[in-house]
């Protein structure tokens, strides 16, 4: 890593949706095509694909296995934080549906193929959506919450991710300034930038209210 750029609004509060940072690597990366940064603000109600390396398990057991294995899955963004008490619209929320109404916090209770929820260690993992022109970087994994007070990433728990569309301008401006010249929204091809969360995944909030 060469440089880290925290969002200037970050004060250590996961609830306010400023849990985002940029890292610039010290060496050029030419074998990876950077994902485009999402600017579409219609994320709610859409299916997102997630990729991460944190601890893992099943919806029945919660997390039981160690981190370090790359895993992926799907979930539907049910709400943004503007509809959730104590949060703002820079946070995107999903719940871990089992198919049972008892595990459903918001949106449909229907379970997707490869239904998925983040867990401790996934901070900085990514959410992708396809708005019709291929996958774009839509969210950055930030925190976990639980209505039942047991933060174990089992069925019924809730994930919050930082909404990348809220920071598209900051990302473009920051990468352009640090690189010394114009940088496209998908970031420079001659340099890899990483968009990630600055805070921990874990949150002490035991529940959230819509």
Residue 16 neighbours by CB under 8 Å, 6+ apart = 9, 87, 88, 90
Question: By C-alpha distance, which of 100, 82, 103 is closest to 91?
Answer: 82
Indicate whether 155 belongs to any domain.
yes
Mean pLDDT of 6-33: 87
Mean predicted confidence (pLDDT) in 29-44 = 90
User: Which DSSP state fits 171?
Assistant: H
Give the distance, in angstroms, between the CA of residue 163 and the centroid of all CA atoms in the same chain.
Answer: 7
Q: What is the dihedral of CA 60, 66, 71, 77, to 10 degrees?
A: 50
Q: What is the CA radius of gyration of the chain?
A: 17
Task: Give the tens place of pLDDT for each residue, 127-148.
Answer: 999 999 999 999 999 999 988 8
Average pLDDT over residues 16-38: 87
pLDDT of residue 182: 40
Looking at the domain assignment, is residue 2 inside a domain?
Answer: no
pLDDT value at position 3?
79
Minimum mean pLDDT range among 8-12, 82-86, 135-139, 205-209: 205-209
Q: Is residue 45 part of a domain?
A: yes
Is 127 within a domain?
Answer: yes
- Domain assignment of residue 9, yes or no: no
Q: Does residue 36 have a pLDDT over 50?
A: yes
- The verdict on residue 200 lying in a domain is no
Residue 17 has pLDDT above 70, yes or no: yes
Residue 200 has pLDDT above 60, yes or no: no
**Where is mean pLDDT largest: 21-30, 44-53, 115-124?**
44-53
- The range of the structural domain enclosing residue 46 comes to 29-166
Residue 148 sits in a domain whose CATH number is 2.40.10.10
Q: Is residue 207 part of a domain?
A: no
Does a structural domain hold residue 22?
Answer: no
Asked if the model's pLDDT at residue 123 lies above 90, the reply is: no
Which residues share a beta bridge with 176?
none
Question: How many beta carbons lie within 10 A of that of residue 29, not counting itself?
Answer: 14
The pLDDT of residue 201 is above 50? no
Selection from 150, 151, 152, 14 nearest residue 92 by Cα: 14
**pLDDT digits over 38-73, tens only?**
999 999 999 999 998 889 999 999 999 989 989 999
Q: How far is CA 97 from the centre of its chain?
A: 18
Angle at 192 between CA 202 and CA 14, to 5 degrees: 20
Count the domains in the chain: 1
Is it the case that residue 186 has pLDDT exceeding 50?
A: no
Q: What is the pLDDT of residue 209?
A: 40
């Amino acid at each position: 890593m060469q440089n880290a750029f925290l969002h200037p609004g970050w004060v250590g509060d996961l609830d306010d949706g400023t849990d985002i940072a940029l890292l610039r690597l010290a060496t050029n990366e030419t074998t990876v095509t950077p994902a485009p940064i999402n600017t579409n603000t219609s994320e709610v109600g859409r299916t997102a694909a997630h990729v991460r390396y944190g601890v893992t398990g099943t919806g029945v057991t919660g997390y039981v296995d160690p981190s370090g294995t790359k895993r992926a899955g799907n979930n539907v963004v049910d709400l943004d934080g503007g509809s959730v008490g104590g949060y703002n619209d820079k946070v995107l929320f999903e719940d871990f549906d089992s198919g049972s109404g008892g595990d459903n916090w918001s949106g449909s209770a229907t379970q997707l193929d490869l239904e998925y929820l983040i867990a401790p260690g996934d901070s900085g993992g990514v959410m992708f959506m396809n708005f019709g022109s291929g996958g774009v970087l839509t969210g950055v994994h930030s925190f976990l919450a639980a209505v039942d007070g047991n933060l174990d990433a089992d069925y019924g728990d809730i994930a919050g991710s930082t909404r990348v569309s809220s920071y598209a301008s900051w990302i473009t401006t920051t990468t352009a300034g640090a690189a010394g010249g114009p940088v496209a929204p998908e970031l420079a091809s001659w340099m890899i930038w990483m968009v990630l969360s600055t805070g921990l995944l874990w949150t002490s909030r035991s529940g959230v209210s819509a």
